[in-house]
Amino acid sequence: MKLYAVIMAGGVGSRFWPRSREKTPKQLLNIIGAETMIQATVRRLEGLVDKDRIVIVTSRLHKEEILKQLPDVPEANVVAEPFGRNTAACVGVASLILKKIDPDAVSVVLPADHIIKDEELFRKTLERAAAFASESKGLTTIGVTPTRPETGYGYIQIDDGEPSAGIHPVRTFAEKPNYATAVRFVESGDFYWNSGMFIWRADAILEEMATYMPELTEALRMLEPAVGTERFDEALEEAYGMVKNISIDYGVMEKSDRVFLTKGEFAWNDVGSWEEVYQLTEKDAEGNAAVGDVYLDRCADSYVFSPGRFTAVVGVDNVIVINAGDAALVCRRDQAQAVKKVVEHLKLNQKNEYL
């Protein structure tokens, strides 16, 4: 079995404004540590997937920067979407490419912007799921064991009974719950966080798309003759013009009867907001995390990011302050999810210099 990887790198990261911009979304930034998020995603696969078997799906705006950051990934393996069409189209195109390369291809599908610790355990989890997917043609997802009643994640419920080689049949998917429901999910013991990571044979996911997403399948059939040719980019734009903006979860995973889950026992975070960054960053005795040239006085439990520019924060608690030079953000930590509204405001008012 040859293992391939598909890295989904087309997001805009609007909750990470003002650092994340249209030309430099969060997956291309070093949000945590020295590596950019996409560099860390590729490095985690070392020893498991060779660089020439990694396919990265991103936007046209970001292809050049991705090639700079990942010089060992062949340029032909970086697919530039003409515009965003969510994860179903991304997965469909990548699977079509892999099936043409290798009819028996098994791929791990990973977002480009996750934080994962216990990396050896992560790779072993992928290996276990890949072996199952290769033999069964099942669609396998990684469910992360919940550590708290999180309302920002979707959940997956597994069937009762003994698993086969650590693989559980999936009973149902649940959208992001309210707090009381999240508490019930965690207490039940059979709900797991939906990590958005998948393992399957390329032909298996394309078969399920044919059943549940016929419009996408028709577009992929039109695209297929152009794979590996100079016409590919033009044909991809035509194909994307035909398909809807739908996630792979909604389009296939929530409907298919071939879905399985393997537990991810490693530490995982999808870093969905500045609040998540605060939680992951080392703090001082007052609970503050500061990056850059920062002065703090009578502050507690706050995150301040200001490299290259001096920022003083005095007499406030539980705030996020991001100084990006040409734009700054100040918000309460419990309002971090609302940062995306700033981006909506900028678009509506055509303040493109800040996007």
Both 186 and 318 in one domain: the answer is no
The answer on pLDDT for 4 being more than 80 is yes
pLDDT in tens, 19-55: 999 999 999 999 988 899 999 999 999 999 999 999 9
Q: 269, 293, 318 — which closes off a domain?
A: 269
Q: 269, 298, 332 — which closes off a domain?
A: 269
- Percent pLDDT > 70 in the chain is 99
CATH code for position 265: 3.90.550.10
* CB-CB contact of 1 with 134 (8 Å): yes
Both 294 and 244 in one domain: the answer is no
DSSP assignment, residue 296?
A: E
348's CB contacts (< 8 A; 6+ apart) are none
Residue 238 is part of which domain span? 3-269
The answer on pLDDT for 197 being more than 70 is yes
Mean pLDDT calculated for residue range 154-159: 93
Nearest 5°: the CA angle 216, 221, 224 is: 120
Nearest 5°: the CA angle 59, 63, 65 is: 125
Both 200 and 146 in one domain: the answer is yes
Looking at the 3D structure of the chain, how many domains does it have? 2
More confident residue, 189 or 218: 218
* CB-CB contact of 309 with 323 (8 Å): yes
The answer on pLDDT for 334 being more than 70 is yes
Both 196 and 83 in one domain: the answer is yes
162 pLDDT tier (thresholds 50, 70, 90): low
Q: 205, 237, 269 — which closes off a domain?
A: 269
Handedness of CA 46, 47, 50, 55 (dihedral sign): negative
Both 228 and 344 in one domain: the answer is no
Residue 160: per-residue pLDDT: 75
Please choose, from the candidates 123, 126, 247, 138, the residue with its C-alpha nearest in 3D space to the C-alpha of residue 196: 247
163 pLDDT tier (thresholds 50, 70, 90): low
Distance, in Å, from the CA atom of 91 to the CA atom of 355, rounded to the nearest integer, reads 27
Mean pLDDT calculated for residue range 117-137: 95
